Structure 1
Amino acid sequence: MFDSLSQRLARIVKTMRGEARLTETNTQEMLREIRIALLEADVALPVVRDFIAQVKEKALGQEVLQSLSPGQALVGIVHNALIDLIGGETAELDLASKPPAIILMAGLQGAGKTTTVGKIGKWLTENRRKKVLVVSCDVYRPAAIEQLRTVAGQAGVDFFPSQPDQKPTDIARAAVEWAKNHYHDVLIVDTAGRLGIDQAMMDEIRLLHDTLNPVETLFVVDAMQGQDAVNTAKAFSETLPLTGVVLTKLDGDSRGGAALSVKAITGKPIKFVGVGEKLTGLDVFHPDRMANRILGMGDIVALVEQAQANVDHEAAAELASKFKSGAGFDLNDFLAQISQMKKLGGLSSLMEKMPAEIQGKATAQDMDKAERDMRRMQGIIHAMTPAERHKPELIKAARKRRIATGAGVAVHEVNRLLNQFSQMQSVMKKMQKGGLAKMMRAMKGMKGLMGGGGMPGMGG
């Protein structure tokens, strides 16, 4: 989402680090570049003004001017100002109340509110061990109630049924009683959205809020809306006592200004960010980590957490045990490694958390091609028989033609896969023998592996 802004700020940061001496002239030039980058990213003008003023005041202070590395000191100031801009401390859900703790969801139609209800329900179940009930008070949109029923089933949370002919406040009261009687820890209430802000909508949600007295009132906003997202958030915050914001579609190709403006405009913390349609696509919002990513510093902590949460530790232990026993690395293992990569969210998800210097020149097109290559590789292996996967040396010309036909690819694609597998196999043999130095040398020489030394299609 922040690709354009991140690339520009990363270049500015690199220039700043290289400055041996800061003067008012070169500092003003850098601030001008930062101002342009933020405005082009659709950050609200008042927010940009305050941000630049804060950075300028500290940048021209004695602490920076007398620093041994003034460029580095200035980078630190920009980094800290960015953290302050988007939220300061991480703000998680506050559920310290007598059960059920009620979460009221607000937002416009199309912002991803219902999907977010499912994502938060799943997150609370898996990360906070809460028993969650969800209910829809949207009696206007066709199939809204059924949509939430489906999402609840996929998320593994309980669903309280409602009818389009009921009043939203009656539905809410009944859901609270049910949650109390069935010992639910959390009740998440999905509300009706509109295509735009209107008084009737605001009156209804205000009445729901007064009826429920929720511990959390979350405003769900589409990050791809740009300035409209900020204006909508402001209107809701003036009507409802919001406790936080959920930014959805953060993986979209928007400029990112809403994410940087919404906290400053509303005064409410961003608590979650949503990426993708999958119910696992929800992250607690960490301002410091987001600032790192925007400035091209990466988010290694999130990368480690992503790996811990998604890697199949049992499969990894089995592979380690297989190596220890002396068994060879076969195409089943190769397929398992590709599947593990997909569980981690794919190449683009991993790369966007890497520092800018590691990301290098890999473009979104490179990532897309790499993802397609991985899917193609999976298709080719799935077209093989169990015997062929276990003993790839069985695969000769006639078998290659059959596999290519079954996978819907050309024979040279099968040859390419087998070549990549062969090189991966040689690396695994080095690992088996404990020769780490040999393995590293082998990997450096693997120009053909996964598209030329990197993942498929990345050309290194």
Structure 2
Amino acid sequence: MAFEGLTDRLQKAMEKLRRKPKVTEADLRETMREIRLALLEADVNFKVVKDFVKTVREKAAGAEVLKGLNPAQQIVKIVNDELTKLMGEEAVPLNKAPHIPTVIMMVGLQGAGKTTTAGKLALRLKNENNARPMFIAADVYRPAAITQLQQVADQIDVPVFEKGIDVDPVEIVREGMEVAKQNHNDYVIIDTAGRLQIDEQLMDELANIKELVKPNEILLVIDSMTGQNAVNTAQGFDNKLDITGVVLTKLDGDTRGGAAMSIRAVTGKPIKFVGEGEKMEDLDVFHPDRMASRILGMGDMMTLIEKAQKNFDEEQAQETMDKMRENTFDYNDFLAQMDQVTKMGPLENIIKMMPGMANNPALKNLNLDPKQFAHIKAIVLSMTPEERENPDVMNPSRRRRLAAGSGRPIVEVNRMIKQFNQMRKMMKQVTNGNFNGMQNMFGGQMPGGKMGQMAMNRMARKMKKDKQKRIKQLRKLRKKK
């Protein structure tokens, strides 16, 4: 996960600070040193680190902070605010043309993921805006580039305009634009050529395409795992093309994440999207405030809620909550929930969006191999309808039959049933606003310390309000009848 190392270092520095009954100037200097080292290790640009630490120190050194109530919490807030400011403060939407089509140029070096990102962006536009995008294949140099774009386009049902590899890219774009206007496409996404490094020929070609189509967006696609080189690449493209935004790919594979924190500060251009997965749906709007919260281990509940809203059926979710509350949750419901959760992305990423869970010791050795889901599914699908609807009938002979039917060891079957029963019991407590079950899972302490406890308390209050609201609605319906 992105920022894992940085999150770990910053959390340890902040935890040291929180344990101090009183924060002195020496404590502040030590914390600033830890923050500086953490940022440098995360491959953040040296000048960016220097300016960031200086700003935080100046704001935190004020007498009203060190002598006030909860100085450690105030310093955490200052770091959070400055991280947010460093990465751009707020999400920046795509520029849109006053008339169709809106033209988006995808630029970047070879291997950064331009073509895949173009596909992810087109799918997002289709799903969110009900748009009719079209691709123009303008990469005539890389072997199989057009074939790759066609394969991506076929997955998401988007047309591709291409003229093969023997036509000048500028001419291909000119003809493609005419076709897009005739077909009334809302968006035109131009997949341009890349190089292993920036060169004059590449830049001249891109500049000519820019001059021809006057794009509304020039999105630079950058592999976040290239670290400091990502910043140099961004500067090079920006100097020549005046890019409008950045898309960071492979953010899920970069545990340092320094590129995300440096690019905005160095170029002044916003990060508009981030790719955190291989699926076509894995392209998210970049929210600096949410990313800052994740870096400091405070979770990202807003993104988690948005993912849940996108992937969960509301009526089914409410029905499941009611079943959990009444303790009638069965294996059929479990299968349905498992399918919906896996649509949200890797489970470890979802868990780490919860407050305090990013580097929780209880999750350090958690093995979330996707194959385990397939094994669990095989066990459940080997059950009879009666067994799925009534989990309490699972006696030893039935378990042995399940092991044989699913091809899994009896130990694994027993473990899955035990975990299911524990989960059912815990979820009954949680849906009734009682978090004791979850506290017991973590040795009597909520994950994330006080911040984790506060987040869970807020969730409990919300659940209680929702429950009261549903009771009132039911009473009104009964009166009407």
Runs of at least 5 residues in structure 1 that lack an aligned partner in the other structure: 448-453, 455-460
More deviation in 97-106 or 14-23?
A: 14-23
Q: Does 1:344 align with 2:376?
A: no
- Show CA shifts across 1:427-460 (max 9, x none): 78x69xx9948x877788899xxxxxx9xxxxxx
Alignment partner of 1:296 is 2:336: no
Q: Which deviates more from structure 2 when the two are superposed, residues 151-160 or residues 162-171?
A: 151-160
Deviating more after overlay: 240-249 vs 374-383: 374-383
- Root-mean-square deviation over aligned CA pairs: 3.0
Aligned to 1:354: 354
Match of 1:415 in 2: 414
More displaced, 125-134 or 217-226?
A: 125-134
Question: How many angstroms apart in 1 are the aligned matches of 2:361 and 2:324?
Answer: 35
**SS of match in other structure, 2:368:** helix
Residue 40 of structure 1 deviates from its aligned partner by 0.8
The residue number in structure 2 matching 1:2 is: 3
Q: Is the 8 A contact 1:135 1:162 kept in 2?
A: no
Distance in 2 separating the partners of 1:404 and 1:337: 22
Q: Cα distance 1:121–1:317, how it changes in 2: closer, same or farther (>3 A)?
A: same
Which residue number corresponds to residue 207 of structure 2? Answer: 206
Letter in 1 for 2:403: A
Q: In the superposition, relative to structure 1, how do residues 180 and 89 fare at CA in structure 2: closer, same or farther (>3 Å)?
A: same
- The letter for the 2-side match of 1:275 is E
Task: Name the aligned partner's letter for residue 341 of structure 2.
Answer: M
Q: Structure 1 stretch 279-288 or stretch 201-210: which is displaced more?
A: 201-210
TM-score by structure 1 length?
0.87
- Residue 407 of structure 1 aligns with an amino acid whose one-letter code is S
Q: Distance in 2 between matches of 1:68 and 1:401?
A: 60
Residue 215 of structure 2 is aligned to residue 217 of structure 1: no
Q: Once structures 1 and 2 are overlaid, which stretch shifts more, 8-17 or 178-187?
A: 8-17
Q: Is the 8 A contact 1:351 1:359 kept in 2?
A: no
Alpha carbons of 1:383 and 1:164: their partners in 2 closer, same or farther (altered >3 Å)? Answer: farther
* Cα shift readout 1:99-124 (whole Å, capped 9, x = no counterpart): 10100010111111111101111111
Separation in 2, partners of 1:440, 1:219: 45
Which residue matches 1:378? 377
Helix, strand or coil for the counterpart of 1:228?
helix
Change over 3 Å in CA distance of 1:214–1:446 after alignment to 2: closer
Contact 2:275–2:283 at 8 Å: present in 1 too? yes
* Aligned CA distance change for structure 1 residues 202 and 375 (closer, same or farther; 3 Å): same
Instruction: Mark the runs of 5 or more structure 2 residues left unpaired by the alignment.
Output: 448-481
Quick check: 169-178 or 215-224, which moved more? 169-178
Within 5 Å, which residues of 2 pair with 1:259-274?
A: 259-274=260-275
Match in the other structure for 2:136: 135
Partner amino acid, structure 2, of 1:155: I
Kindly tell me: are residues 260 and 367 of structure 1, through their superposed partners in 2, closer, same or farther at Cα, counting changes over 3 Å? farther
In structure 2, how many angstroms separate the alpha carbons of the residues matched to 1:349 and 1:402? 35
Partner SS, residue 133 of structure 1: strand
2:409 corresponds to which letter in structure 1? A
TM-score (norm 2): 0.83
Query: Structure 2 CA distance, aligned partners of 1:73 and 1:210?
Result: 49
The answer (yes or no) to whether the contact 1:101–1:186 under 8 Å persists in 2 is yes
Asked whether the 8 Å contact 1:311–1:344 carries over to 2, the reply is no
- Tell me how far 1:269 sits from its aligned partner: 0.7
Specify whether residues 192 and 386 from structure 1 end up closer, same or farther in structure 2 by C-alpha distance, changes over 3 A only: farther
- Give per-residue Cα distances to partners, 1:344-396, cap 9 Å, x unaligned: 22421212212226852144541435x54333211222334556534667766
> Compared with structure 1, are the counterparts of its residues 337 and 435 closer, same or farther at alpha carbon in structure 2 (3 Å cutoff)?
closer
1:112 corresponds to: 113
Contact residue 17 and residue 75 of structure 1 kept, 8 A: no
**Would the alpha carbon gap of residues 442 and 83 (structure 1) be closer, same or farther in structure 2, given more than 3 Å must change?**
closer
